[in-house]
Each structure stands twice: as C-alpha cells, then as structure tokens.
Amino acid sequence: MTISQAQLDGEACVVCGASEGFLIPAGYFFAPDGGGGRRSWAVVACPKERRPKL
C-alpha cells in the first residue's frame, strides 16, 4: 500500500486520506527503515474506519 506524508504525520485518515473532521488514533503503521529495522508512525483514521487494515 502507499501512504502519504500527511497520513504518516497523523494529519489525514490512514484509510481514505481525509484530513477534515474528527480523526481518532488508529494504531501504528510500520515500514522497513532500509537498514534492517523498521520505523513506526502513529496514525489516525475516521471514526467510521474503526479497523483500518494497515
């Protein structure tokens, strides 16, 4: 999947990309850091997307 910088920054819904309205914490998005480890970002989602698939 692709994820935008705004989504990584918790400024847009990680599922649909909406940046307006009420956004709730949706857990963490993990991605390889290129050095054998991985980075994590706290992401948010619209309330209607209670179980975003990351």
Q: Which residues bind Zn ion (CB under 5 A)?
A: 13, 15-16, 18, 46, 49
Of 3 and 49, the one with the shorter C-beta distance to Zn ion is 49
Q: Which is nearer to Zn ion, 12 or 36 (CB)?
A: 12
Of the two residues 28 and 33, which places its CB atom closer to Zn ion in the complex?
A: 28
Exposure string (b/e) for 16-36, b if CB count within 10 Å is 16 or more?
eeeeeeebeebeebeeeeeee
Q: Which amino acid is at 8?
A: L
Alpha-carbon distance of 31 to 47, in angstroms, equals: 24
The CB-of-52 to Zn ion minimum distance in angstroms stands at 8
